[in-house]
Chains A and B, each alone.
Chain A
Amino acid sequence: MIDKILDSPAAALAEVPDGATILIGGFGNAGMPSALLDALIAQGARNLTVVNNNAGNADAGLAALIAAKRVSKILCSFPRQTDSWHFDKAWRAGELELELVPQGTLAERLRAAGAGVGAFYTPTAFGTRLAEGKETRHINGRDYVLEYPIHGDYALIKADRADRWGNLAYRKTARNFGPIMAAAAKCTVAQVRQIVALGAIDPEHVVTPGIFVQRVVKVPALEGAA
């Protein structure tokens, strides 16, 4: 019997090695897998490459991982926030490398990884300093920049409901990076509010099919709050 449900975030993340690339879902608090981030902090893996839209807020989650000097590189679109002080300090001290990626290019690079696309041309950032040094190409009257996929060793995402096959349904804008990160990682761990029986998620409403999900952990809503 297939059963992807594990007892705890700690059990789901026990084998994360040093140097792993971790895709972290969420945009603001919506979709942020806070319980998985807490477990990753406790787990101790170091020298991590992290992919998230931002670079941590206040003192919890990704910000705490950066404060603990566990992140050596971050790929994101918008690190600068009013409460990104841990990232700001580490970046200014040269303790972590930043690869700034336009938000849509970040999303498409993740999608490309999950879809087996080797690289793609995008018009975004052509003629700007974020395209410096990259291959470009003129196609049908427009200029494009070549971008490569972003593969993850782990994806940590948050969904609303899951079944034991790993099928996921999300809630509102908490969906954000979840589906594309799930497909882009070798091991996707989903933190969910509720686990339901097979078939209870209408097949028409499964957003991430279980083929993209390896582990599921139930985290009741209150525990999931940052």
Chain B
Amino acid sequence: MKKLGRNQIAARVARDIPEGAYVNLGIGLPTLVANHIPGDREVILHSENGVLGIGPRPAPGREDEDLIDAGKSPVTLLAGGSYFHHADSFGMIRGGHIDICVLGAFQVAANGDIANWHTGEADAIPAVGGAMDLAAGAKQVFVTMEHLTKKGESKIVERCSYPLTGVGCVTRVYTDLAVIDIKADGLHLVEICAEGLSFEELQKLNGVALKYKAAV
């Protein structure tokens, strides 16, 4: 079996982002999705700190301390972009104006619950940022993550054991093994991404039952 790398997962997500979508990309792997959106497709990227229309990273030496994204990395603004304050920015999220957000996760449950902000360890310093707002507010919540933990346990679970970020909100999961939709009646396999992985093998690794309707 040949699993997808981080950039391959990001490229797979990018395929599903349509022209005209308003999209928020989380920190880490989700940020890579921007690199794979075709140049002829207009997608408007939002960042929580108050910007719509994020462009490519600035060239070295061209960074502007006042123009950053939610990861505090320097960015550029496309023509047509705009700035706004934090309450407006989260109004866009909570108010259902963001079409798609892409988040990383520790675990996703079969009912669409997501855990991505806290390991549950008592002495861990908690930090949540905008994750709970995005989980609750975006029209579609896409999750990218490795399918298995280092110990080989599935991160797609019946019930999350880590503290929740949001309930029943994840619509689609992209892993290094597969793309899986979360619907009211459970998990639906969209496609297997890892080369040489059979449905039966994936089902065994995934733990939670997968529905699959092969294309006719």
Complex: how many Å from CA A177 to CA B48? Answer: 11
Contact with A along B64-78 (1 / 0, CB 8 A): 111110001000010
CB neighbours (8 Å) of B145 from chain A are none
Residue contact B68 to A125, C-beta cutoff 8 Å: no
Q: Which B residues touch A106, using CB under 8 A?
A: 86
Q: Are B86 and A107 in contact (CB under 8 A)?
A: yes
Give complex CA distance A45, B65 in Å.
30
List B contacts of A137 (CB < 8 A). Answer: none
Q: How many residues of A contact B (CB 8 A)?
A: 46
Chain B binding surface, main DSSP class: loop
Main secondary structure of the interface of A (DSSP, over half): mixed
A-B pairs with CB below 8 Å: how many? 139
Q: How far in angstroms is the closest Cβ of chain A from B211?
A: 25
B184 at the A/B interface (Cβ < 8 Å)?
no
* Interface size counted on chain B using CB atoms at 8 A: 41
A103-B90, A104-B133, A107-B87 as given contacts; A77 in contact with B66, CB under 8 Å: no
CB–CB B87/A108 < 8 A: yes
Give the interface segment out of A1-9, A59-67, A127-135, A195-203: A127-135
Query: Which of A91, A103, A172 has the most chain B CB atoms closer than 10 A to its own CB?
Result: A103
Are the C-beta atoms of B67 and A173 separated by less than 8 Å?
A: yes
The 7 closest A-B pairs by CB, nearest first: A104-B90, A104-B133, A127-B167, A80-B127, A28-B72, A107-B86, A111-B87
9 additional contacts (CB under 8 A) given A28-B68, A104-B132, A207-B85? A84-B125, A104-B90, A107-B85, A107-B87, A108-B90, A122-B94, A128-B166, A175-B50, A176-B49
